[in-house]
Amino acid sequence: MSTGNEIARQEADQHFEDQRNAQIFSALLTPHRSLNRTGFLAVMLFLSVVSFATGLVFLMKGAWPVLGFFGLDVLVVWWAFRANFRTARAREEITVTATELRVRRVSHHGQVAEWTFNPLWVRLDMEVDEDFGIEHLYLISRGHQIRIARFLGPDEKASFYKGLIEALNAAKRGPTYNPIT
């Protein structure tokens, strides 16, 4: 039979284990797309109407092949937008706990690459252009270097850098034990 002290110790151990595995930082990075689905439909409708109207003008003047080329232009623009939307499915997930830093990268084709680091041994590095700002962020650990946050702009990279540095510092401090809570 368990005594009160043993139960309290088990609860404290469980609480400590939960803190070790608790997420300190989590980010889901995706490519920015300024045109949503409604905007895409509006652009395609406008382009189709203008191309069809212009093609009819050429058809009435006897230049009937031009109508087909206007239709082909609309098809090429539609295909380009669809290809752009497909690449927006890519994402990068970065998670920091007290015991690991995990980077999971999913390409727009669905291919997954995953790296796990010990946050005590990770260093965050950046390449900075004096005119542009932060160009690249890198995680470096034991001879491995991976580029992260490729989807972000310079200002977003600076904010992300600060947040990730704070999370790595919190992981290096380790979980805190407070028996009162």
- Give the domain CATH number at 106: 2.30.29.30
Please give the average per-residue pLDDT across 82-90, as a whole number: 86
Quote the tokens at residue 94.
């970065």
For residue 8, pLDDT beyond 60: no
Say which range, 32-36, 165-169, 177-181, has the weakest mean pLDDT: 177-181
Please give the average per-residue pLDDT across 116-138, as a whole number: 91
Please give the average per-residue pLDDT across 25-32, as a whole number: 90
| Pair 78, 162 in one domain | no
The domain in which residue 166 lies consists of 4-32+90-173
| Pair 96, 161 in one domain | yes
Q: How confident is the model at residue 41, as a pLDDT?
A: 92
| Pair 99, 112 in one domain | yes
Domain assignment of residue 181, yes or no: no
Q: How confident is the model at residue 132, as a pLDDT?
A: 87
Percentage of the chain with pLDDT > 90? Answer: 51
| Pair 94, 163 in one domain | yes
| Pair 108, 163 in one domain | yes
For residue 24, pLDDT beyond 70: yes
Domain assignment of residue 128, yes or no: yes
Residues 6+ apart with CB under 8 A from 59: 66, 67
| Pair 10, 81 in one domain | no
State the first-to-last Cα distance of the chain, in angstroms, to the nearest integer: 25
Amino acid at 176: T
For residue 13, pLDDT beyond 60: no
Q: How confident is the model at residue 174, as a pLDDT?
A: 76
Q: Distance between CA atoms of 91 and 110, rounded to whole angstroms? A: 10
| Pair 66, 139 in one domain | no
Q: How confident is the model at residue 78, as a pLDDT?
A: 92
Please give the average per-residue pLDDT across 80-96, as a whole number: 89
| Pair 15, 43 in one domain | no
Contact 85, 100 (CB under 8 A): no
| DSSP of 45-78 | HHHHHHHHHHHHHHHHTT-THHHHHHHHHHHHHH
Domain assignment of residue 178, yes or no: no
Domain assignment of residue 116, yes or no: yes
User: Rounded to whole angstroms, what are the CA distances from 179 to 3, 117, 142, 170?
Assistant: 18, 30, 36, 20
Q: How confident is the model at residue 173, as a pLDDT?
A: 85
Question: For the chain, how many structural domains are there in total?
Answer: 2
| Pair 19, 99 in one domain | yes
> Could you tell me the strand order of the sheet in which 144-148 lies?
123-129, 133-141, 144-148
For residue 143, pLDDT beyond 60: yes
| Pair 95, 169 in one domain | yes
Q: Distance between CA atoms of 73 and 102, rounded to whole angstroms? A: 44
Q: How confident is the model at residue 6, as a pLDDT?
A: 60
Question: pTM of the entire structure?
Answer: 0.69
Please give the average per-residue pLDDT across 163-167, as a whole number: 93
Q: How confident is the model at residue 84, as a pLDDT?
A: 85
Domain assignment of residue 165, yes or no: yes
| Pair 28, 42 in one domain | no
Domain assignment of residue 179, yes or no: no
For residue 121, pLDDT beyond 70: yes
| Pair 100, 168 in one domain | yes
Domain assignment of residue 142, yes or no: yes
Domain assignment of residue 112, yes or no: yes
